[in-house]
Amino acid sequence: MRLEHPVSEHKPRGETIPSLAADTVRIIPLGGVEEIGRNMVAVEFGDDIFVIDAGFQFSEAETPGIDYILPNTGYLEERRHKIRGIIITHGHLDHVGAIPYIIERIGNPPIYTRRLTAEIIKKRQEEFASAQPIVIREVERGEAVKLGATTLRFFNVTHTVPDSMGVIIETPWGDVVHTGDIKLDHTDGVPSEAEVHEFSIFRERKVLLLMMDSTNVDRQGFSIPEHVVFNTLEELITHTNGRIILGTFASQLERLIHIVRVSEEMGRKIVVDGRSMKTNLDIARQLGLLKFKDGSFIQTENMGEYPPEKIIVLATGAQGDEFASLMRIANRAHKYITLTPKDTIILSSSVIPGNERAVQKMKDNLSRQGAHIITYQTSDVHSSGHGNKGEALWLHMQIRPQFFIPVHGYHYMLRVHCDVSIEAGTKPENCIVPDNSAIIEIKNGEKITRLPMKAPSELRVVEGHSVTELSDVLMRDRKALGQEGFAVVVVTVDRRTGKLHKSPDIISRGFVYLRDNKDLMDQTRLIIRKSVETSMKNPRAADLDSARDDLAEAVSRFLLQRTMKRPIVIPVIVSV
């Protein structure tokens, strides 16, 4: 992929951002605090800026036709000489997805991350052929890395992909701690020994500021720990008689590694069906995170050589993605997999909001073929990678920060997280709920404030080959077109007589089905003729612009009145 039309350099607008005082730590969440996704935070003090994560957000209904939404890095672009590095907490797209699109713009600083994450980033970078080489420094849990005058440390966090970590940035006023995405390994709400041990490091540390994942803090208690999911899946893989088709996210790498191990133990051959899953398992294999015997994995096309009860298919598309493996199976469009009533389908995933209809359709079509379907609604076959309120509370108790800024979530979730922090002992005046590009400062380690101005915050988006600023006009037009369609009216007019040369043409798409509406079209032609011939009598009409405006308005008004639809009307008047 080659990026074209990179967005023009950021031009500062509005209020000037004051320069940073020597006694101040500045925190700017550049994304991920008004949404789930596009996570990025800048931490600035002295002459240094540290960037934590560089994720993107998948486009939703509000941004039709857009591929991804990026954090706005305008603030960093103006200060690229200060950037000492990007710390990436783990290898999910909402934490690494923006790297190819922003890294050159902020001066190609080195990336600090753990091994698996590094491989995921490198693999992805291969798709961007013309990009400058990136610099990655691998770090490890417990390691201390000196960047400029500052020491960074890393700690292990439980999430759903190996090598997930949190970061400690040692400032002169205490630690700035960012957990990344986090949940806890626990049994009935009692954190595991490993968790207790990992977070015991904070007993000896003075934490100035904590930033923590807020995705699920509005849920009560503790989330289902992944080991319960492992056990459930192990039971199912062991006791199911026929073929198993298991759908999950390719990003659920820890779970996939576990499933591979159990399947192998149970003598099932493993079929991996889906490119992203293959890529991730391949990286895990290369790094020694995934070990298996020769012959345990087989090709999809060779499935027929084994009895069904000796097969497990790991499939992508549990979200109802149109072209992914599970959807093709559901739609009877899969080259090698045809369901039978003896098959068991395990959907080891939740439904991402917005995908309900697609997943429902997939389940309907799978169940039409008689397969038995197991979902997270009736069995513990999935758990979120983000901790609930109980976990957040426990973590706050261990880290005991002086100041708190919730990240990773919608505003409402961040506000709930502030309440949790206060419940854990943080002073209410020491919690700030940020917006994207808010500039928050901690002065002399004593007082947290939010500046009245913001860092650049216009939405930046990826669409096809382009990185651009989101155009509201474009979005409004697409939404209108997607509901109402458009109509082009073409008129050839005699410039001397002001009369139409022939009957006007009307070309419409997405409006109403014209074949069924001949009367409407005939009446519209009359309206067109009348509008244009009236305009042409007017001496202003020489430039045709006002005639075009009048024509568009007359046709729009008529069509609205007759159909209650508001197609975009494009008037074409050719004078000959």
Query: Of 298 and 481, which has the nearer Cβ to its own copies?
Result: 481
Site string for its own copies, 405-424 (x = CB under 8 A): -----xxx--x---------
For 45-86, give the DSSP string: ETTEEEEE----EE--TTSTT--EEE---HHHHHTGGGEEEE
Residues 281, 116 contacting (CB under 8 angstroms): no
Site string for its own copies, 176-205 (x = CB under 8 A): ------------------------------
Query: Of 180 and 320, which has the nearer Cβ to its own copies?
Result: 320
Q: How far is the CB of 560 from its own copies (least distance, A)?
A: 9
Question: Which strand (E) or helix (H) includes residue 166?
Answer: strand 165-171
Q: How far is the CB of 40 from its own copies (least distance, A)?
A: 19
Backbone angles phi, psi at 304, to 5 degrees: -60, -20
Residues 426-445, interacting with its own copies (CB under 8 A): none
| Packed helices 115-125 and 275-286: angle between N→C axes, nearest 10 degrees | 130
**299 binds its own copies, rule: CB under 8 A:** no
**486 binds its own copies, rule: CB under 8 A:** yes
Query: Of the candidates 48, 309, 463, 533, which one interacts with its own copies according to CB under 8 A?
Result: 463
Query: Of the candidates 16, 378, 428, 539, which one interacts with its own copies according to CB under 8 A?
Result: 378
Place of tokens 């001397």: 496
**498 binds its own copies, rule: CB under 8 A:** no
Pairwise CA distance, residues 100 & 104, whole Å: 8
Pairwise CA distance, residues 141 & 132, whole Å: 28
**523 binds its own copies, rule: CB under 8 A:** no
Residues 502, 574 contacting (CB under 8 angstroms): no
With CB under 8 A as the rule, give the number of residues binding its own copies: 68
Site string for its own copies, 11-50 (x = CB under 8 A): -----------------------x----------------
- Known catalytic residue at 386: yes
**124 binds its own copies, rule: CB under 8 A:** no
Q: What contacts 70, CB < 8 A, 6 or more positions away? A: 31, 38, 56, 98, 101, 102, 460, 461, 462, 467
**218 binds its own copies, rule: CB under 8 A:** yes
For 168-226, give the DSSP string: EEEETTEEEEE--S-B--EETTEE-HHHHHHHGGGGG--EEEEEEE-TTTTS-S-PPPH
Q: What contacts 267, CB < 8 A, 6 or more positions away? A: 310
Q: What contacts 442, CB < 8 A, 6 or more positions away? A: 24, 25, 27, 173, 208, 209, 403, 448
The identity of residue 183, as a single letter, is: K
Q: Which of 181, 213, 273, 343 is catalytic?
A: 213
Q: Which stretch binds its own copies (CB under 8 A): 155-163, 297-305, 471-479, 536-544?
A: 471-479
Q: Which stretch binds its own copies (CB under 8 A): 78-86, 136-144, 178-186, 474-482?
A: 474-482
**368 binds its own copies, rule: CB under 8 A:** yes
- Interface residues with its own copies (CB under 8 A)? 4-5, 34, 60-62, 64-65, 218-220, 353-354, 356-357, 360, 363-368, 373, 377-378, 410-412, 415, 463-466, 468, 471, 473-474, 477-486, 488, 490, 492, 505, 507, 509-513, 516-517, 562-565, 568, 570, 572, 574, 576
Residues carrying an active site annotation: 213, 386
